[in-house]
């Protein structure tokens, strides 16, 4: 979802884009194949490339968090980063910038009242441990003399999939309701702003280290559900979905919707980035309202 929109915006700005993935794809951009499990990659993938945006990783919300799935979530991120590091270390290339995806899960959910900044310590729950190890692996790229930017992604709102699609479905069926207490904070961002931050990380040579990719005004789960319902003109009258029911349905993965954190986007704003969407209602209107 993110890679598709990012590709469109990069091409609009005159960049040449190549894709690296598990299968070769036809389309307007060059496509190359890697096999992370075998630690193999098509060496042609690095030809005429001066920057890499690493977005790969098993989806955290795609399957129930069994022990096997947890290992897949971790290994897909750490091992793919290690493969890129090892290839860049041993091959001749022109890569100077590496933008590594990270996530707001880095901060954990232990203290819902704290406002997290890039200087905050990592949390201790599963997603925090995954993200911390993911970033530590990315940090090894500093040894290669690359400019490394780590983008800690908030909840990306897009009409092409992701969280918004899942929240919208029950609302359109007149079954929209807050999840759990509804008071958990969600640090969101419109997909075009998220891609805009990645593009700035590619083009702005002064950017280094971690940046939170979140809009300036986080909302609670209840506020987001209510805002979506208002934009699509659906009532919201049902009581909150109990946490115990979500845990029965989703297991430990219920943490994704039952907990949240409030994250600061001040650092990226201080770098000069100007958000197109600072209020969630404006973002939702852009994504959900049909334009003539």
Taking phi over 0 as left and psi of -120 to 50 as alpha, with beta for the rest, 276 belongs to alpha
Q: How far is CA 125 from CA 8, 105, 209, in A?
A: 35, 9, 23
- Per-residue pLDDT tens over the stretch 103-149: 999 999 766 678 999 999 999 999 999 999 999 999 999 999 999 99
User: Up-side HSE of residue 135: CA atoms within 13 Å toward CB?
Assistant: 23
pTM: 0.94
What local confidence, expressed as pLDDT, does residue 244 receive? 86
SS3 at position 83: helix
* Cβ atoms of residues 180 and 240 within 8 Å: yes
Tell me if residue 77 falls in helix, strand or coil: helix
Distances (CA, A) of 120 to 74, 95, 114, 131: 22, 30, 10, 14
Residue spans of the chain under pLDDT 70? 110-112, 291-292
Query: How many structural domains is the chain composed of?
Result: 1
Instruction: Tell me the residue range of the domain where 214 lies.
Output: 2-288
Any idea what DSSP says for residue 180?
Answer: T
DSSP state of 254: G
Looking up residue 225, the CATH number of its domain turns out to be 3.40.50.720
* Cα–Cα distance measured from residue 128 to residue 106, given in angstroms and rounded to the nearest whole number: 4
**Per-residue pLDDT tens for 237-270?**
888 898 888 888 778 778 777 888 899 999 999 9
Strand order, beta sheet including 30-35: 18-21, 30-35, 40-41
pLDDT attached to residue 111: 60
Give the DSSP H or E segment for 199.
helix 191-203
Give the C-alpha separation, 109 to 131, whole Å.
13
Given a contact cutoff of 8 angstroms between Cβ atoms, the answer to whether 221 and 184 are in contact is yes
**For 110-136, b where at least 16 C-beta lie within 10 A, e where not — what string?**
eeeeeebebebebbebbbbbbbbbbbe
Phi, psi of 147 (to 5 degrees): -85, 115
Separation between Cα atoms, residue 208 and residue 150, nearest integer Å: 8
Q: Which H or E run includes 189? A: strand 188-190
3-state secondary structure of 151: strand
* Residue carrying the six token digits 């219920």: 254
| Bridge-based pairing state of the strands 219-220 and 185-186 | antiparallel
């Amino acid at each position: 979802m993110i890679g598709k929109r990012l590709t469109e915006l990069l091409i609009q700005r005159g960049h040449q884009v190549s894709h690296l993935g598990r299968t070769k794809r036809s389309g307007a951009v060059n496509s190359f194949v890697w096999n992370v499990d075998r630690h193999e990659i098509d060496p042609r993938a690095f030809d005429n490339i001066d920057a890499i945006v690493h977005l790969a990783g098993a989806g955290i919300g795609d399957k129930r968090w069994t022990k096997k799935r947890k290992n897949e979530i971790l290994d897909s991120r750490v091992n793919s980063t290690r493969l890129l590091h090892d290839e860049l270390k041993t091959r001749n290339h022109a890569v100077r910038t590496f933008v590594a995806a990270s996530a707001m899960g880095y901060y954990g959910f232990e203290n819902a009242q704290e406002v997290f900044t890039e200087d905050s310590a990592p949390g201790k729950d599963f997603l925090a441990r995954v993200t911390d190890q993911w970033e530590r692996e990315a940090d090894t790229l500093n040894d290669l003399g690359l400019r490394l930017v780590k983008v800690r992604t908030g909840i990306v709102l897009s009409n092409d999939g992701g969280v918004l699609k899942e929240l919208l479905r029950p609302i359109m069926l007149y079954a929209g309701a807050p999840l759990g207490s509804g008071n958990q904070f969600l640090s969101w961002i419109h997909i075009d702003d998220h891609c805009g931050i990645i593009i700035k990380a590619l083009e702005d040579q002064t950017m280094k280290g971690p940046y939170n990719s979140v809009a300036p005004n986080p909302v609670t789960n209840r506020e987001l559900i209510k805002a979506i319902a208002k934009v699509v003109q659906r009532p919201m009258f049902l009581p909150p979905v109990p946490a115990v029911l979500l845990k029965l349905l989703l297991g430990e993965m219920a943490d994704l919707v039952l907990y949240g954190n409030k994250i600061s986007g001040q650092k990226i704003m201080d770098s000069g980035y100007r958000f197109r969407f600072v209020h969630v209602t404006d973002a939702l209107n852009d994504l959900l309202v049909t334009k003539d």
